[in-house]
Amino acid sequence: MNPRTLSLRALLFLGLWQTGWRSLASAPELQDPPKKIAVVGAGIGGTAAAFFLRQEFGAGVKIDVFEPGSVGGRLETVKMGDYEYETGGSVIHPLNLHMKHFIEKLGIPPRKDVPTKMAIFDGKELTFEESNWFIVNFLRMLWRYGFNFLRMQMWVESILDKFMRIYQYQQYGYSFSSVERLLHAMGGDSFLTLVNETLEETMISQGFSQIFLNDIVAPITRVNYGQSVRINGFVGAVSLAGADSGLWAVDGGNKRVCTGLLYHSKSELISARVTSISVKVRPSKTGATTSFYEVNYVDASGSAHSLYDIVVIATPLHQGKSDIAFSGFSPPIPSHYPGRYHQTVSTLVHGLLNMSYLGTAEPASKFTVSDVLTTDTKGSVINSLSSIDPVHIPPGYNRPPASQTKVWKVFSQHSLTQEQLQDMFISRDSVSETKWLAYPTYHPPHRKTPPFILHNRLYYLNAVEWAASAMEMSAISARNVALLAHHRWHQQEGKIDQEDLHTRLRGEL
Ligand SMILES: Cc1cc2nc3c(=O)[nH]c(=O)nc-3n(C[C@H](O)[C@H](O)[C@H](O)COP(=O)(O)OP(=O)(O)OC[C@H]3O[C@@H](n4cnc5c(N)ncnc54)[C@H](O)[C@@H]3O)c2cc1C
Ligand SMILES: *[C@@H]1O[C@H](CO)[C@@H](O)[C@H](O)[C@H]1NC(C)=O
Ligand SMILES: *[C@@H]1O[C@H](CO)[C@@H](O)[C@H](O)[C@H]1NC(C)=O
């Protein structure tokens, strides 16, 4: 017996036929599960969406994922010599529970941990270098910055505490119709204020010193988002959490999660670029009308189109990122929302570092720093310089000191010139450059973030990047959009935009 006749019987039995008929007639097809869903983009957002959509809608629905480039999107590796290295999104926080759950589900191990060591470069010299001794670091920091350091850890922790609430809400099936509502459910008004203020404003008002912001906080926002402490307070907190200990990566490359999710979700990968999406209204069996989305795409063999019940856009709708025309929608949907994406150039160099570039007299054979962050000084060319390890750590591997030829990753806003490279490296065996439109250029106070819901059954996952861009943020958004799509399809309004979930679910823990 199909679920539709079952529900009709139940309605008749309850004597609700007369009243029930109306809602059935207005949305006749919506009682059945959808037949076809399209996901546009196969980065971590799109592939996680496919995974969660399968979970919500079951085995019967056909899920197509469109991707003209390589699966993984901003997660990408390049080969230097014998090994592969991450060139895009590289580190994951220990409390990023979706990412953790994905690798467990897919049976992929985390990459073997290689201890890191940080230093800060002000354009002339190294102003700070982490010691191997925790107590030495601690005393140095206390000496220079008083309790700013401890207070920062407490501040980030308090935000993380609220952030973690999203996992419980999603576990219980709750979803949110906008980025603002999602943030509000996690951290109330204080989270909305965070997105609307600069990190600098937030931290100054919390009593942090300007010198601490310049010396310590700015280098962290520069390495993670290529921008200053004028990014919003929320992405700023995400960035500072990204300087925590216990960060991890996926063995063999982070993009393996994307191919794994795609496979696990039993979706079909269509290697094509989506060019436009239009809404089509069709009469249905019962005489009422239903709407479909016509997805037009081009691949190697030309252009084609297909009809879908639900579409999830999992690529930024911004200049230079994607160019999808939406037609037949009222109100119209723009191809590009306001706001720009920030360029970060990732240059991998297999070569020998010029130690005098860092203004240090330390012998290269003793220099084992992995991450050189930079302060925000006029004319600074690089955002960071890191000694990086392969995506798969071979047995017995130790990070070599700077006296050996190895792979360095430089983040900068513009392409490095030959002269700049020559200054930084004594010799170069190979160089590989990737120009990313990496993450939004954050300029709070923020106008409204783009919506999750573009049209009845057309969703937009990357709206979340305006709060913060990270793998886990795309995964959270993917789960949210899958839940939203499910609840709206089955008219379960009670699972959308519920207020005060934190108090209501407290007893359930
Ligand atoms: C240099 C760099 C460093 C980073 N470091 C970190 C980090 O350490 N930790 C972290 O968590 N995050 C990091 N990030 C951010 C993180 O990589 C992104 O937030 C995340 O990967 C975004 O995933 P996504 O799937 O939402 O988008 P994307 O990965 O951009 O995926 C979108 C996909 O859609 C495809 N597409 C575009 N247009 C169309 C179309 N018309 N039709 C079909 N497909 C289309 C694209 O080809 C792309 O594959 C970093 C990013 C960069 C660039
Ligand atoms: C190393 O860097 C210093 C300082 O930037 C520069 O003067 C020198 O020419 C560089 N050395 C080499 C071998 O490139
Ligand atoms: C953010 O600030 C702008 C301008 O100050 C204001 O219009 C907007 O409502 C604020 N948004 C939130 C979510 O507080």
Nearest protein Cα to ligand 1, atom 12: 470
Least confident of 9-23, 173-187, 449-463: 9-23
pLDDT tens, position by position, 103-137: 999 999 999 999 999 999 999 999 988 877 767 77
Pairing of strands 371-374, 453-455: unpaired
CA angle 141–144–147, rounded 5-degree value? 65
CA-nearest of 331, 320, 335 to 275 is 335
Q: What is the mean pLDDT of the chain?
A: 91
Distance from the CA of 444 to the center of ligand 3, in angstroms? 9
Is 498 close to ligand 3, i.e. is its CB under 6 Å away? no
Distance from the CA of 151 to the center of ligand 1, in angstroms? 32
Please tell me the predicted confidence (pLDDT) of residue 125.
92
Is the pLDDT assigned to residue 75 strictly greater than 70? Answer: yes
For residues 183 and 189, what is the distance between their CA atoms, to the nearest angstrom?
A: 8
pLDDT tens, position by position, 234-245: 999 999 998 888
Nearest protein Cα to ligand 3, atom 4: 445
Closest ligand 3 atom, CA of 193?
14
φ, ψ (nearest 5 deg) of residue 134: -55, -45
Please tell me the predicted confidence (pLDDT) of residue 175.
98
- Concatenated DSSP letters of 144-170: HHTTHHHHHHHHHHHHHHHHTHHHHHH
Please tell me the predicted confidence (pLDDT) of residue 8.
38
Tokens matching residue 213: 């912001």
Closest ligand 3 atom, CA of 446?
1
Please tell me the predicted confidence (pLDDT) of residue 14.
36
Report the residue among 192, 446, 448, 449 best suited for mutation to probe ligand 3: largest number of ligand atoms under 8 A from its CB.
446
> Which residues line ligand 2 at a C-beta cut-off of 6 Å?
354, 356-357, 422-423, 426
Task: Record the pTM.
Answer: 0.93
φ, ψ (nearest 5 deg) of residue 170: -70, -35
Map tokens 């069996």 to a residue: 285
**Closest ligand relative to 42 C-alpha:** 1
Binned at pLDDT 50, 70 and 90, residue 508 comes out as low
